[in-house]
Amino acid sequence: MSSLTVLGCMWGDEAKAKVVDFLGASADVVVRFQGGANAGHTIVSEGKKYVFHSVPSGMLYPTTRCVIAQGTVIDPFGLREEMQGLMAQGIDFSGRLFIDSRAGLVLPLHKELDSSKEEQLGKNRIGTTGKGIGPAYADQSARCGLRMGDLAHPDWLRKRLLSLYDLHGQNPDAAALDKELAALASAWEFLRGYVTEVDILLREWYLQGDSILFEGAQGTLLDVGFGTYPFVTSSHTMCGGVSTGAGFPPRWLDKVIGVYKAYGTRVGEGPFPTEIFDVTAERIRVVGNEFGTTTGRPRRIGWFDAVAAKYTADLNGLDGLAITLLDVLSGIPELKICTGYWQGDTRLPHYPSHHLDLESTQPEYLTLPGWEADIGAVNKLGKLPKAAREYLEAIQDLLERPIELVSVGKERSQTIVIN
């Protein structure tokens, strides 16, 4: 009986899936509790690449049960396509995937609203993934959204869908509505066998002694409440989201690991105080293949921000850290870690709560020597170059938590376990 929560703790793409895949070897169940197809989770196993958007990364283990919980928003067509793609790669879903009947639906309307809103915002846009996530969550909160279980009730579904269009000032003709309902019915035929009340199962499984791994999507700085609002996603990406998203009692969250990339990245708009634009940024982007998994956009690059990282470590009450993509920093002569923010001659006492304050901060840096050697084959902490160990120690000291795992390459085997 145990639960482990693995959370991205910056702006997403921290290599959560790689860590979930590594730690998932001993999990009976892997759960996605928030987000939707805005997530792009990549696992490379024996040279083969798998990309997950709404499906939990645990699906790669043939007997692991996987859950898509209430707190997610799911595009039924996108999910069907993702599952079919993974089936074609040899993954067997039967009896292993459980989708909560209360998960919110992302409809074509939400994708249209997502892109039209971004267009309206112009230079103030968020830079969303265009997957309809914000509008879908907005409708859930406004109590006019549709949910997975609604697909089982055609008359109710028609009524709710019509009312949703009406609320958004749209009036589709009967033929268009029939076409959409027929498409939804066909997606339901594919998905219905996986839909159930998963919160009940999760609590039963935990009490019967199973080990449950919660897989975060996005990152804490994209949390709708505590992130760099309004440049955030629309769900609770932080630790508390596990409980409200999965129907899992907060007191059963036994251990929480935060995943941090060894440097910073961000996709989309919003403040990023340690962002860099020079040849080092370009080098990191190329070596780290820093292009969005979901949208292909080049990711913005920056130095490790220990002020932001300490903020998210404290918010989530992290027990330990996983530091990823350390190999990407090999060959950079000098590395920087942000240790404070300045506004004029004032050193800020903590991470600012307003994005305008963040934009006007000057980072204070600790400069550390880099290392030359390729570390992709290192499997013990003691075998890392001294400078790499000192870099990790600096992060550990600044975040006041132990590093439990270091990732030095995409493959499962390229992982250093510390505890």
| Binding site residues, Mg ion, CB under 5 A | 13, 40, 293
- To ligand GDP, the closest distance from the beta carbon of 197 in angstroms equals 28
Counting contacts by CB under 6 A, is residue 12 touching ligand IMO? yes
Counting contacts by CB under 6 A, is residue 134 touching ligand IMO? yes
Stretch that binds ligand IMO, among 38-46, 175-183, 315-323, 389-397 (CB under 6 A): 38-46
Structure tokens at 8: 């991205």
Element (H, E) at 77: helix 76-88
- To ligand GDP, the closest distance from the beta carbon of 171 in angstroms equals 39
Alpha carbon of residue 348 to chain centroid: 28
Cβ-based nearer residue to ligand GDP, 20 or 161:
20
| Long-range contacts from 79-84, C-beta under 8 angstroms, 24+ separation | 79/37, 79/54, 79/55, 79/187, 79/191, 80/187, 80/190, 80/191, 82/37, 82/52, 82/53, 82/54, 82/55, 83/55, 83/190
Residues 6+ apart with CB under 8 A from 257: 4, 5, 6, 7, 19, 23, 318, 319, 320, 321, 322, 404, 405
Cβ-based nearer residue to ligand IMO, 44 or 381:
44
Residue corresponding to tokens 């039963």: 204
Nearest 5°: the CA angle 368, 372, 377 is 115
Instruction: For residues 314 and 362, give the distance between their C-alpha atoms in angstroms, rounded to a whole number.
Output: 22
- To ligand GDP, the closest distance from the beta carbon of 108 in angstroms equals 25
Residues 283-312: x where in contact with ligand GDP by CB under 6 A, - otherwise, as a string: -----xx---x-------------------
Answer yes or no: 153 catalytic: no
Answer yes or no: 13 catalytic: yes
Cβ-based nearer residue to ligand GDP, 100 or 215:
215
- To ligand IMO, the closest distance from the beta carbon of 308 in angstroms equals 15
Strand locations in 1-64 (E)? 2-8, 29-32, 41-45, 48-52
Cβ-based nearer residue to ligand GDP, 352 or 409:
409
* Contacted entry of ligand GDP, ligand IMO, Mg ion, none for residue 363, CB cut-off 5 to 8 Å set by kind: none
Residues labelled catalytic: 13, 41
Judged by the rule CB under 6 A, the positions of this chain that interact with ligand IMO are 8, 11-13, 38-41, 126-129, 131, 133-134, 217-219, 222, 233-234, 267-268, 293
